[in-house]
Amino acid sequence: MGRYREYLTERQEQILRHIRMAITGQGDAPTVAELAAAMGMQPSSLHYQLRELETKGAIVREPHRHRGIRLA
């Protein structure tokens, strides 16, 4: 994962992989609720991980968009 500024945790890599698969398969990112359910996480825990992924440069989040997660 050398293209990211910082090391991703295993959990963050799993989340990123799921986002990538959803975009490839559906043509759009999952919602936070869909992603939390798929990952077996509480939405609050997922929000934390998404903030971390954004800080590390792996994703870009678009505020006020239901499916506002993009790969960086």
Three-state DSSP class for 69?
Answer: strand
- Calpha distance 43→5 (Å, rounded): 25
CATH number of 10-71: 1.10.10.10
What are the φ and ψ backbone dihedral angles of 71, each rounded to 5 degrees? -75, 140
Q: What pLDDT, on a 0 to 100 scale, did the predictor assign at position 1?
A: 43
Q: What pTM was estimated for this model as a whole?
A: 0.87
pLDDT in tens, 5-64: 569 999 999 999 999 999 999 999 999 999 999 999 999 999 999 999 999 999 999 998
- Calpha distance 13→20 (Å, rounded): 10
Domain boundaries, the chain: 10-71
